[in-house]
Structure 1
Amino acid sequence: MNTYMAPVSVVIPTHDERRWARLVATVRSVREQSPAPAKVVVAVDHNPELLARVRRELPGVTAVGNEHARGVSGTRNTGVAHTGTPVVALLDDDTVAHPGWLAGLVRPFADPRVVGTGGAIMPGWQRRPDWFPDALLWAVGASETGVSPIPATVRNVWSGSMAVRREVFTAVGGFRVGFGKVGGRSRPEDTELCLRMSRHTGGHWVHVPLARVDHSIPDGTVSLRYLLRRCYHEGRGKVEMSRLLGGRDSLSSEREYLRRTVPLAVGRDLAGAVRGTERHGLARAGTVVAGLAAAAAGGAVEWLSSSGTRTRRTP
């Protein structure tokens, strides 16, 4: 089996000084990777005080300010622009990489058809709500459970743990600025990027489950209100993404999720509740249904909004 040997950089976007302790832990976990990255870039989203602190307290790290509009998409693009390696890995500022994370992500790049890779994002709960279902782990930035440990070709990966072939990333313009996470607004900027990069070269993405990171989920940050709002924005984002990219293939994974994952999850929780083996099964099943309803509402709002815009523009 061929081994990828070229140098790799790591980009970490950040925006809030209240996340400083988690950012420091993220940087430490990257520095402990073997082989070590050629460069570590911390990209700061329009926060001069935080940028100054990174430069002052994290020696050996390249600190840069977002050169685009506010938001994580422009922040990541800025970070990648300040690297020069053929492959660049991206890691969120509230994650900690396991040993072997970077080596696992870059190994598939020995195949020139691979445009990018992604790893498993494990939920680092301080205290998981009893009503929270596995089927909605994506809403807190975590991977599904029960994934095979064998690398596999996938449609898309998540930007919280991602590596890209820099040449292709640059050719398509990187993440779509203005389409991503800004404040409480959230759009699937990583999925949209993956689809554009694959279409540009005809290449593919590889999911590497053993390239793991822990994503911190502090106690009290996940409420039912938060979850429904997150699902609503996801629904809006998927409809907007489909309009931007065109073609039914842009939502193929979402249709599979609705057709297989959701019925299995709801059925399992309901069966457990009926048998008495799952005390919170009914609540978890109800949460899945409520989350999908919120996503459907968001999708409908986005579809009606875009339809109205097209109507007004049509003479």
Structure 2
Amino acid sequence: MRAILERKPAKGFTNITKPGCLVQFKLGEGGSIMQIQQIGIVGSGHLGTILSQKFQGSGIPAIYVEANEPSPAKMSVLQDCQFIIEVVPEQLSEKIKVLKHIEEIVPSEMPIAITISSLSLAEIASSIRNPERVVGLHFFTQANRDKLVEVIRSLQCSDTPYLQVYELMKKIGQVPVRTKDVPGFLINRLFVPYMNHAIQSYEDELTTKEDLDTAIELGLGYPMGPLKLADVIGLDDYLFTANTLFQELYDTKYAPPSLVNRMVDAGYQGKKTQKGFYEYSSLEEVKE
């Protein structure tokens, strides 16, 4: 989807839709009305661009602020927003640094959603003075196509910002599911053991990689086999998630197979390096 850039106020931030519009939606059945004139997206990378496009397509004005070098001047444009979404990479120190910058600019009651996949939401939220307004969002590998998003609630989070984030995700066409701030949230708690078992079956030479993926796709009806999916996710990212869950839960079903460690050490990270369980001649084609 082509982004429509109305103006560039200064280096580091871009208006994605025309300001001045007013979007209203109800917070659940019989709930209050939330009004938004502009969304602030703070971060970098592919996910920030995708979310900007999703808001644009839903008629919700948005401004995108690069967070590679956060500063008061750059962040000041967020003062005119009614809602903030942070999309910086999954590094605790970076997320806390950006969140603190946001806190200094926006009103204390403004909801802040942070994208997260394995870090503790409570730990990040507790770094600011009003942690009750911080809500977690976990998008998936192909966020431009995958509609599912986990909406994560920490112990500190209050009802209103949580419901606001949940309803806003529906407004942009996502399918939100509620989950608690626990290691792995909901999906990864179920997903990592499945992937570990599948990869271990391949490492134990139960079958070929092609037959393993075919068995899962045709036998279980999954849209993509586990080894193909691991390549799409990125073996390094998968290894990080699995190790995080294992360290948090002390349960061996979350411990990644040794093959994944060896492949990552060798630089085989999947599609992004053109070699993982499969070899890739381009970003789309698998060498059989």
TM-score, structure 1 normalization: 0.32
TM-score, structure 2 normalization: 0.34
The structure whose RCO (Cα within 8 Å, separation 6+) is larger is 1
